Structure 1
Amino acid sequence: MRASLAKEVNRILILVAASLLLCLLWRTIWPLIAGLGLYIIWSTRQLFALYTWLVREEHTDPPDAAGLWGEFYTRLEHLFRQERRAQDNLQGIIQRAQESVNALEDVVVMIDQHGHLEYWNHAAQKHLGLRPDKDLGQPLTNLIRHPRFTHYLAKGRFNEPLEIPAPVDDNRILQFRITEFGEGDQLILARDMTRLHHLEEMRKDFVANVSHELKTPLTVLKGYLETLLDTVPEEQTRLRRALHHMDTQSHRMEALVNDLLLLSRLENTKADNTGQTVAVHGMLHRMRENALALAREKDHEITLAVPEDARLVANPAELESAFGNLITNAVKYTPAQGHIHIEWRQDDQGGHLSVSDDGPGIDPQHIPRLTERFYRPDNSRVTQTGGTGLGLAIVKHVMLRHDGKLEIQSALGKGSTFTCHFPPARVAGKPAMTNP
């Protein structure tokens, strides 16, 4: 490029020198004007040729030119070839990405910051009924009109997935997950959960049916055990010991069946949205008295900090089951002469019931699984506590039915705190804290 520029400068200098020489010989300035004019005309023709070459829709070979213009054309042609190779590579990558996305069985949809459709794969056409000839650029909420999806998208909190029936088939269940990227753009992924949903329904039905079928023979067994305990003489100590063990285990099995039936009912029935105004103080005060009687030999100190006019809109039976499980667990796992604190507080986030103890605590690695059925962080304590392993699962489902959540905080050797968080809509009135 520098050599071509030097040649062009030399060519201009020679032209100017020759024009000046003619000016001296002819004693006029017209040769210089004519020389410069010819150079300008030649350069202008080259410029128009460049413009004509650049604006053509189809690429052609560059015009023939000498000197600096020829070098310029050569460099531009080289850049164009690089650009075409980069475009071809990019187009190939985009095509492969589209082919791979279209090969997915999961739905993939992209919407812009205004919620308008930008792209979707073949699975979206199948499960959502999107049409490439009509729906591009349309608002997604015009095509997926389920109220829960509209609320989920508008709320903007995508930590938890959403499961709703497919727009084209109410018998299919889709699980939606949304990820934000760019400047307000959103990537929507949806997976067909119909099979898992059916399996979960079968599991719930199985547990409910088995629990119900166990209740009758268990009742008969308990009745005969009670009769035998009343009729067997005191002298037959070995037989009476065996009967007492059988009676204890039958009571434990009865509690397990009752918890399974309760959990099945919580899972398989719709929440009672009407609700009643529950006096929280009276319920917790009664539970405190029951807890003191339950663990009289442990000599627990159980304190209560609840305002007397605290009210909660809830199902009383479900609420009592949830609170009772938390307090009973605290009594079971808190060692003798330990301290249990029950507190109700309110703020802008709603109402909060906390049950704290100074027991052995729980390793944080077990906390995410504590609400699973029958999960125990320490199996050696099963026989000590006599629990069913379903208490926290029941609490979790009761909270879900009341639009709330259960929070667990614990550490080994530092006790545990179980907190039920209720939304503001569930809190009746604005009670002021009073001394317990």
Structure 2
Amino acid sequence: MTRDWLPIKTTPWTLGLALLLMFLLAETAALPQRVDYWLLDSVMFASPAVASPDVVIVAIDDLSLAQQGRWPWPRRTHAALIGKLHQAGAETIVFDVLFTEPSPDDAVLSRAMQAHGRVIMPVHMSPPNSRLLLSEQFPASDLITAAAGIGHAHVELDHDGIARGLYLFNGMTRQLWPALALAASGVSSRQPDSQGLPPFVNVRDDYRIVPLAGGAGTLPTYPYSDVLNAPPAPDVFGGKTVFVGATAAGLGDILPTPFSGLSRPISGVEFHANTFSAYQQRLLITAAPAWVGIALAIITLVALAVLLPRMRPARTLFACVTAGITILGLYIAMLTALQVWLPVAHALIIPLLALPIASGMRLAMTNQFLNRQLDELARAPRVALPELSKRPLTQLLEHFQALFQPQGWLLMENSNIVSTRNLGRAEVPDDLEPGLWRNDGNQSWIQLNRGNSCYTLGLTLPNDLSRDAIQRYLRRLKLSTSGPAIKMLRPSENISARIERVKVATERLNHMQEFIRRSFERMPDGIIVTDELGIIRFANGHIEEWFGEPMPSLGGLPLTRLLEGHDPRETPPWHETVSETLTLLQSRTVDLKIREKDFLIHFAPFALPDSVQYGIIANISDISELREQQRQHREAIDFISHDVRSPLVSQLALIEQLKRDPTHIDQSQLEQLGRLARRSYHLAEEFVQLARAEQLTETLFYECEFLAIVENARDSVSEQALEKHIPLQLQGTEDLWLRGNAELLERAVINLLTNAVQYSPAGSAVSLQVFRAGHQACLTIADDGCGIDPDELPHLFDRYRRQKSSELAGIHGTGLGLSFVKTVVEKHRGEIYVASSPGEGSSFTLKLPIADPMS
């Protein structure tokens, strides 16, 4: 079996290349960088850092500007602030204020700085004006000498304009200055690796992300004027690092951060204070090299490209979600536990792209598969079951003619006669309702609308008992649509159109399979289908019923084991029959007996689809009835050869004797000849009545009254009872209507009464009681005869069976009377019971269903 080549397949190569192409397209739109920033901001906002208790901010805010006057303030004011903080016990004072121009008060400020001993001054890299190159802007020379350290005040803005971190070292090619936070911690400047670079180049090193403690105002902040004018506060500033800087909006030193965005930016001094707090707690985050994120993305791409094509579609989403969660878990663990920021947007984009790409490729494969399946389904044979409402009326008429053999018909299209026989236009009933049959005696009419035409169809059915059944059958046929035709809209999507077509084709295939399955289930024979090893793969309901094995246990059971378990045999053994059917490819027919029933099993090999091997179809037929008929046939032959032949031979012998001496005819000889003739006639009558009973069907039933049937039977036997002085006492006055054959029912009651009179002693009584019990009409015939032996009761209704006591008493019968009675009762779906004891008489009870049990 060859496999068709598909131009689009979900393979590691095709999926990997598609993912790589989409990844590169996403990279050109800077999407990964935006995702990385968003993830970082989300984590930092969700779990802000804890502020260090050793950090305090003295803010040059709007209140302080209002009290101290316009900026810049005299430097002696800053000297006074240093004095106050020194008196309060501040450990380190960090100024985020530029003092680049000389001032007359520099000496005062320098002395205050020297008195404290740990004052950090900022350096700023910028060109003095637009015409000059970039240079370092230091504080005045006196202040540099007095400062305990110099730190750069630069904060780095990312590509989206948000401040998330800074370079720990920044400067020109001669020297790299630590950030203010590091300078406050005692870190000194260092020499850069800047060989060959011009002196005006800005050199930066060791970028770190700062986990902020929150937005503006998160760290303890005190107004500049309040600290300057209030007494020293050792409880606030003692042993702490104090950052002094501008927070007033008018001074313009503001930075958007993940906590504030552009709506509530924080000041530079607050950012440096947060940097110091994080540095002291070792919380500064290092950015992983860019190649690590690319490597993680490649690993994710390869893993999904290899795994997804091997997964079921339902698990693709789970795999992509799992990959995304794993990457996010790794990201959060490294960020919170190791303080390493790993850009994972490249890797996260891969699962996001993998799901739609893999689904799209599978959809393309599905589309191709559907096209191929549609072509195969179009070529495959199928059982056509067109709807009756779509068949042409001429074709329907032909089918009705073949099925019912009507005595006449008429088919008209509008007012034109299409076909007719023994029916004319004048006989069409008025006001026919479209789609509904109208029955008028033995004529049935229907009117149907097909397109723009109105058809009238009439049938003259046989005027016998089958007429009602045919008319009921016609009413069940759906010859017209129940409502307006619904126009099927063709889906606009290509795949939806394919799916719809496959759906229709699959429904047709399912209908065919259901048709075949129901056909197998309704077959009169049992069917077993095996594979090439004789293992049962299919069995219909008859097998389950006959063998008494539940259907689930039949599947996968060896056929030989099933047969040996119910009909073990040695010659030939079942395994030999089954194996020879498979190996020699020859049919076999074998007798089978299951639970006292006779079957015939026929083994036939058949070629398995898409294989060179053969399986077995076993057809099992129930021949119990046939065997019973054969047995009855043999019994009938034996009976005829003995019981029927014997009186005929006696009659012939007596006739020959009379012929030899016709002058001396004795009256006793004539009486004997009459008895023999009557016995022969009685035997023939018994055979005829039993044959009629066995051929009785419900088509020969009609409404009849049970009490009248019993009365007629009593009258027929009254003369025979009168000869033995046996009164026939009938009890019952209620009319009980049955649906049955009154003639055969009367004959059955006569047989019971005849037996009761025959086996009862003279002068005794026979009672007949007709009554109703629930939904049944009952008749009980009781006598005072010799009774029936218990050993003979189980075989009482067997044909040709005679009681030993009767034969010994000289009462000769055919053995067909009670068999006839039971056959008639069973044909009427009734029951018969016997109660008898030797010497105490017998009681026969008939129970027949009432025609209208609700009356």
TM-score by length of structure 2 reads 0.27
Greater helix percent: which structure?
Answer: 1
Of structures 1 and 2, the one with the larger relative CO (CA 8 A, separation 6+) is 1
Q: Which one has a bigger Cα radius of gyration?
A: 2
TM-score by length of structure 1 reads 0.49
